[in-house]
């Protein structure tokens, strides 16, 4: 493993860990975690790719921006890391990280393919987080903020949340809690537009059958706008297959790297 630091357009410094050898792959994690959420899949991915695992801004060795926060700054971060990794980069992104990555090919030619696992977004009549949930997250302490997020946004059961609390990774989740509210707010404010119609790279979207109900309509709406996209259903999986079903997840990553231009839905 090697350390690499990348500077984004607004001078934010991004901490990237590099593993393996092969064609370049950039991993972009979700909201309540850092790059350690990929720890169960990184060893297998690194057997075939040079893996660049990004800690998104505000986490661990990556600095927070100096000015106002915006999702667009995160998209610039993904583009900056892809450019540092070289050309024809394969971006694999999860949850909020997938939303950050969606339009990155519009600002760099370094991305050759993407796999987006459950990018969250509201769709007509379907909320990701209601206003009272967002208000309580803003006001809560870090531990309670995580609890609200997992119970009322990700829709985990109390038993699942209690299991997370007992896991060593809970401390890593607490490290992401200070920037969690702003990311959930950005999701709820996000509008799926026609801009992705200009993303001219193959994109595979993954969605689990056991995931929160707002994720599938969001993925379907994005797939409908992306000209070279397909959507694959992960039967029996929820929002964290990269952690709970690592072999299945990496199989999907490898399959998407080999498949054609997209344009369909499969189970």
pLDDT tens digit string along 201-237? 999 999 999 999 999 999 999 999 999 999 999 999 9
Q: Are 99 and 120 in contact (CB under 8 A)?
A: yes
Q: If you search the block for the tokens 């971060």, which residue do you land on?
A: 77
Please, which pLDDT band fits residue 260 given cuts at 50, 70 and 90? low
The reported pTM is 0.94
User: What pLDDT score was predicted for residue 211?
Assistant: 95
- For residue 147, what are its two tokens? 């609890």
Sheet of strand 50-55: strand arrangement: 2-7, 13-19, 50-55, 24-28, 89-94, 111-117, 203-208, 229-234, 265-266
Q: Report strand pairing: 111-117 vs 89-94.
A: parallel
Q: Are 9 and 80 in contact (CB under 8 A)?
A: yes
pLDDT value at 262 more than 60 = no
Measured distance CA(244)–CA(246) in Å, rounded: 6
pLDDT value at 255 more than 50 = yes
Measured distance CA(247)–CA(76) in Å, rounded: 30
Radius of gyration of the chain (CA): 17
- For residue 43, what are its two tokens? 């060893």
Angle (CA) 103 104 109, round 5°: 125
Within 10 angstroms of residue 130's Cβ, the number of other Cβ atoms is: 12
pLDDT value at 266 more than 50 = no
pLDDT value at 119 more than 90 = yes
Nearest to 25 by CA among 72, 93, 109: 93
Q: Are 37 and 243 in contact (CB under 8 A)?
A: yes
Query: pLDDT above 70 covers what percent of the chain?
Result: 97
Mean pLDDT of the 111-137 span: 95
pLDDT in tens, 34-47: 999 999 999 999 99
pLDDT value at 265 more than 70 = no
Angle (CA) 13 25 15, round 5°: 20
User: What pLDDT score was predicted for residue 185?
Assistant: 94
Q: Are 54 and 75 in contact (CB under 8 A)?
A: no
Q: Give strand pairing partners of 91.
A: 26, 114
């Amino acid at each position: 493993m090697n350390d690499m630091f990348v500077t984004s357009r607004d001078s934010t410094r991004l901490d990237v860990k590099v593993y393996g050898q092969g064609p370049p792959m950039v991993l972009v994690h979700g909201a309540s975690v850092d790059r350690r959420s990929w720890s169960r899949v990184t060893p297998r991915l690194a057997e075939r790719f040079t893996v660049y695992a990004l800690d998104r801004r505000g986490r661990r060795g990556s600095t927070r921006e100096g000015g106002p926060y915006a999702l667009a700054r995160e998209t610039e971060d993904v583009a900056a890391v892809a450019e540092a990794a070289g050309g024809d980069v394969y971006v694999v992104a999860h949850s909020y990280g997938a939303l950050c990555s969606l339009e990155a090919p519009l600002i760099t030619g370094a991305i050759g393919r993407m796999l987006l696992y459950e990018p969250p977004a509201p769709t007509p009549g379907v909320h990701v987080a209601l206003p009272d949930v967002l208000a309580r997250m803003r006001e809560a302490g870090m531990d309670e903020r995580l609890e609200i997020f997992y119970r009322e946004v990700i829709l985990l059961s109390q038993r699942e949340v209690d299991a997370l609390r007992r896991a060593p990774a809970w401390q890593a989740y607490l490290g992401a809690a200070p920037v969690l509210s702003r990311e959930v707010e950005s999701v709820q404010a996000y509008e799926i537009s026609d801009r992705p119609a200009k993303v001219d790279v193959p994109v595979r979207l993954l969605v689990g059958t056991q995931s929160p109900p707002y994720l599938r309509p969001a993925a379907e709406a994005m797939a409908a706008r992306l000209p070279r996209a397909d959507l694959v259903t992960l039967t029996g999986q929820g929002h964290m297959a990269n952690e709970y079903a690592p072999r299945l997840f990496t199989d999907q990553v490898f399959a998407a790297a080999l498949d054609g231009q997209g344009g369909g839905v499969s189970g």
